[in-house]
Amino acid sequence: MLLKIDKSFGVSAVKNRHEENMPKNQGELFMSTTLADKEKTLLQVNEFVNEPFTDFSQPANKKAMEEAIKTVRLSLGKEYPLVIGGKDVKVGGDNWIISTNPSKPDEVIAKFAKADQKLAEEAINEASIAFESWKKVPYTERVQYLFKAAEIMRKRKHELSAWLILEIGKSWAEADGDVAEAIDFCEFYGREMLRLGQAQPLTPYANEKNKLHYIPLGVGVVIPPWNFPLAILVGMTTASIVAGNTIVLKPSSDTPAIAYQFVKIMQEIGLPKGVINFLPGPGASVGDYLVSHPKTRYIAFTGSKEVGLRINEMAAKTQPKQIWIKRLIAEMGGKDGIIVDNDADLDSAAEGIVAAAFGFQGQKCSACSRAIIHQDVYDKTVEKIVEKAKKLVVGDPQDNNNFMGPVASKSAYESILKYIETGKKEGHLLLGGNAIKTNANGYFIEPTIIADVDPKAKISLEEIFGPVLSIIKAKDWQHALEIANNTEFGLTGAVYTKNRSHLDQASNDFHVGNLYLNRKCTGALVGVHPFGGFNMSGTDSKAGGKDYLLLFTQAKTVSEKV
């Protein structure tokens, strides 16, 4: 039976889905529907609409978040197991990965059992066993797990945000956006599987019955980053399993606690054992072992260029008894620039630059780390940027009045401060440039702006991944575009101009996977801005787009003589 997405509910119905007399979301529908009615329910799936962000200016929302933080704080410091084949696996001795609060490094968020290569082997084997049955589960049933997970995350949005605030230092708004994106991935990929799960249209041919359908790849290794430790983890994981694959999930050692919250949700909704195997462990031993394993069919990775290239090299080497070419789905960061032309709205440009440079402490692969400004408006634009950045408040993100929190870890803190010292020699320090000392020794750094930077300077070309903005003067429009393209990366970029021909040229010649015109270069939305970059920014995976699930499948054609 062909499944058709019913758009009769319309966007307005979905936006108001929590109001009385409005259609339930898909998770609620599946939770309340009998097995006999599941397929019928799928025929009435709502059109995808992005999860709305929480308005914390509303007293009720503010109070709910404050209570969620208090609740999560009561769970801090606990010990958690690995999950292999649906079973909790505890590791004795001192083999723990300890997650701490970057605002208060002495505060332990959680302790996680640390896997070794023996346990990695066990996890791969359990995933392989589970794959034999999971791949046969109808795609209409696999989709239901995603919709159910989305509904639980929606109900626990503030609790999940609280984990992000405490474990990795996200502000309320950034944490809420992370959770909303995770919900979006579940909802979007569920709907995409309903589209791709059907037999695909082919050209008719006399006396033959032909069919093309997508089948899963096999066992995947999912390696998410610490900066979007729920959204990106959920995106790579749900894309994997809804397509029929099973996975070994190796979370970042900086953010295993929020990863475990998602694993618990998937257990709660009854996902079969072994479909997701949770395996915190060192990248240099466990990560390498998983990537190199002959049973690993693909790797979904988001992280640094250096680690991504290492994974690419290891995955490309054929192991004994390996019967396939491994697939790598990688997003590896960027060195993103915003161009300000001489006819741009300077207030809008300055606002976009500051938001994109310093949101979540500049720890986004899409963050604006370079402002490339036409010489005619350089001084005026720089003045506006500095003026706006001076107003940013830095502090513990448990307080919603703070725009910026700490950077992720001691190693990130030290690396960023070294880049700032280099930047002081390569340009003129206009703002910040210092660590912020706190009683709790948190990893806080001032928003830092360095002007008059040479396009080929170290801080202009290398990814810093912190609250550091380099400002570069361009002689004219063409020069600005040349500077924007002079890095090895190609993830995001933006242009502020009123010149239509310049916008058109940028659309063709600004070599990034995600280009934004007259808006900031961060804030990609699932389904709206399919996300992924060129060159050393990765494999242009286009997460949150209609091509993404194809990366986790392979097409099979069946032809029958009739």
Instruction: Determine how β-strand 468-474 pairs with β-strand 368-374.
Output: parallel
Alpha-carbon distance of 68 to 524, in angstroms, equals 26
Our answer to whether residue 365 is catalytic in this structure is yes
Q: Are 195 and 129 in contact (CB under 8 A)?
A: no
Alpha-carbon distance of 559 to 249, in angstroms, equals 37
Q: Which two tokens stand for residue 435?
A: 């660590």
Angle (CA) 238 242 248, round 5°: 55
Alpha-carbon distance of 229 to 475, in angstroms, equals 40
Length of the chain: 562
Q: Which of 186, 365, 368, 521 is catalytic?
A: 365
Q: Are 513 and 542 in contact (CB under 8 A)?
A: yes
Our answer to whether residue 331 is catalytic in this structure is yes
Alpha helices for 476-548 (secondary structure H): 477-484, 500-509
Return the SS3 of 499.
Answer: coil
Angle of the 256-268 helix axis to the 139-155 helix axis, nearest 10? 120
Residue showing tokens 């910026």: 404
φ/ψ of residue 107, rounded to 5: -90, 120
Alpha-carbon distance of 472 to 419, in angstroms, equals 17
Q: Can you say whether the dihedral through the CA atoms of 455, 457, 463, 468 is positive or negative? A: negative
Q: How many CB atoms lie within 10 A of CB 476?
A: 13
Tell me the CA distances in angstroms from 16 to 187, 295, 355, one per residue in order.
16, 45, 29
Which H/E stretch holds residue 316?
A: helix 305-316
Largest CA distance in the chain: 79
Q: Which two tokens stand for residue 394?
A: 């830095």
φ/ψ of residue 313, rounded to 5: -65, -45
φ/ψ of residue 56, rounded to 5: -80, 0
User: Can you spell out the DSSP letters for 120-148?
Assistant: HHHHHHHHHHHHHHHTTS-HHHHHHHHHH
Instruction: Determine how β-strand 534-535 pairs with β-strand 514-517.
Output: unpaired
Q: Which two tokens stand for residue 222?
A: 């999912």
| Those residues with Cβ within 8 angstroms of residue 74's Cβ, 6 or more apart along the chain or in another chain | none
> How many DSSP H helices and E strands does the chain contain?
18, 23
Strands (E), 349-445: 368-374, 428-431, 435-436, 444-445
Angle of the 172-196 helix axis to the 231-242 helix axis, nearest 10? 10
Residue showing tokens 């944490």: 175
Active-site positions read 331, 365
